[in-house]
Each structure stands twice: as structure tokens, then as C-alpha cells.
């Protein structure tokens, strides 16, 4: 996957580094030549020193051919301008950091595919760690949430197959993995298995009750 990241903020820098480590082709844009030099010298990330709010710079970065474009600049107004230019340049998937929730509608109207509020993401993760420690990772979408859960010894689901735990309407176990391989739904769950399940927004409370029932210990 080819990803262009505009802005080497702390989040932009870490995102570029993570994508590079995952084997993706990453190109970053930033006004600061030192930041670009440090990123390029310490990884396989390509770097362009320039202003991402200039269409010529986005064209040089080949935004129209990228699988995804991420705006991670300093503030919402700059990110919004960059996103609009990226859309005009032909970017198909556009992701932006949005610091202020009252600006989200403007980004939505601009056609930004995904909006990420870093403070809210951190708060949600901390909340999940406290209230649902069995959730190892989750993704919030517009109409649903996707959860990754690792089965551990002492959970009520151990020894039961997915049909036995009976997920209610609005909640669905998508896949079960064991040692990197997908399992049939009729195999009893055991510690070390990973479940991916989806909960639609209207079933959020039922989803929490379902997960607490089967994936809490005791």
C-alpha cells in the first residue's frame, strides 16, 4: 500500500514509522527539512520538504496515485485545506486529524473519508482498558464498532463454541483465529484464541453486556 502523510507532527511521524515497519510504501511531506531528513535517514520512508497546502507539492508527491492520504499537520484549518486539495488532486481515501469536535462537520462536507480526534481516541482506549480489559483493540466506524478479543484462561467462553455463546441481534462474531489460522465456528474456544466481532451502534449496550458475560473472568 502506498500512503502519503502530510505533516510530521508527533502523530504523523509515528504513523509513518509504523506503516513503514508494516512494509507499506510511505511518503511524507513537511516544511521542516530537518524533520524530513531525520525521517528519511532512519527508515525507508521517502520525504519531500515542502508545503502540503500547495497543489504542486501534492502533485510531486503523487497523491493521485496513493492508496491513502493522511493530513497530520498542526491545526484543523490547515488539515482541512490540505484535505480539500488532496481530494482535488485525485486522492481516493483521505484521513485527517481533527482536534476540535465542532469542526468535524466541515471535514465531512469536504469529503474526508475518516476523521480522527487524537484526544478522543486516547480517552476511548483508556476507558476500554478500565471497563473491558479483555478488549485488546477496537475500531470505531460510523455505524458500528469492531473489537479484537484474546481468549484467556478463566473466561466463561472457554470450552464453548461460538454458536453456544449465542450472540444477540446486532452483534456478530466475524472470525476466530488460533495460531494464525482461522477456525470453524463449531470448534470450542481455548486460551490464546482471538475473536473479531462487530457490534452495531444501536446494540452498543447489548454488546457490552454480551462481552462482559462471556469474556470477563470468574
The model's pLDDT over 24-48, given as tens digits with 9 standing for 90+, comes to: 999 999 999 999 999 999 889 999 9
Tell whether pTM > 0.75: no
> How high is the pLDDT of residue 87?
93
Report the C-alpha gap between 135 and 211 in whole angstroms.
9
Q: What CATH number is given to the structural domain containing 135?
A: 3.30.70.1450
Checking if the pLDDT of 6 tops 90, the result is yes
State the helix-helix crossing angle for 10-21 and 33-41, rounded to 10 degrees: 20
Taking alpha carbons only, the member of 150, 163, 162 closest to residue 191 is: 150
Q: Are residues 135 and 51 in the same domain?
A: no
> How high is the pLDDT of residue 107?
92
Q: What is the mean pLDDT of the chain?
A: 91
> How high is the pLDDT of residue 131?
86
The model's pLDDT over 170-198, given as tens digits with 9 standing for 90+, comes to: 999 999 999 989 988 789 999 999 999 99
Q: What CATH number is given to the structural domain containing 73?
A: 3.40.50.720
The model's pLDDT over 57-77, given as tens digits with 9 standing for 90+, comes to: 999 999 999 999 999 987 899
Which domain-ending residue is among 92, 116, 140? 116
Report the C-alpha gap between 95 and 92 in whole angstroms.
10
Amino acid at each position: 500500500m502506498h500512503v502519503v502523510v502530510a505533516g510530521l507532527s508527533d502523530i504523523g511521524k509515528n504513523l509513518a514509522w509504523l506503516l513503514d515497519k508494516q512494509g507499506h510504501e510511505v511518503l511524507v511531506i513537511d516544511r521542516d527539512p530537518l524533520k524530513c531528513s531525520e525521517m528519511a535517514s532512519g527508515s525507508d520512508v521517502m520525504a519531500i520538504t515542502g508545503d502540503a497546502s500547495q497543489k504542486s507539492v501534492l502533485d510531486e508527491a503523487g497523491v493521485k496515485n496513493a492508496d491513502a492520504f493522511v493530513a497530520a499537520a498542526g491545526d484543523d484549518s490547515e488539515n482541512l485545506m490540505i484535505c480539500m486539495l488532496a481530494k482535488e488532486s485525485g486522492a481516493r481515501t483521505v484521513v485527517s486529524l481533527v482536534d476540535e469536535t465542532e469542526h468535524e462537520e466541515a471535514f465531512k462536507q469536504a469529503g474526508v473519508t475518516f476523521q480522527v480526534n487524537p484526544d478522543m481516541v486516547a480517552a476511548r482506549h483508556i476507558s476500554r482498558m478500565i471497563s473491558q480489559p479483555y478488549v485488546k483493540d477496537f475500531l470505531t466506524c460510523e455505524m458500528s464498532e469492531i473489537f479484537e478479543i484474546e481468549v484467556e484462561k478463566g473466561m466463561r467462553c472457554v470450552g464453548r463454541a461460538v454458536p453456544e455463546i449465542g450472540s444477540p441481534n446486532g452483534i456478530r462474531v466475524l472470525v476466530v483465529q488460533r495460531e494464525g489460522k482461522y477456525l470453524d465456528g463449531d470448534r470450542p474456544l481455548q486460551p490464546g484464541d482471538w475473536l473479531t466481532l462487530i457490534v452495531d451502534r444501536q446494540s452498543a449496550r447489548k454488546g457490552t453486556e454480551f462481552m462482559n458475560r462471556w469474556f470477563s473472568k470468574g
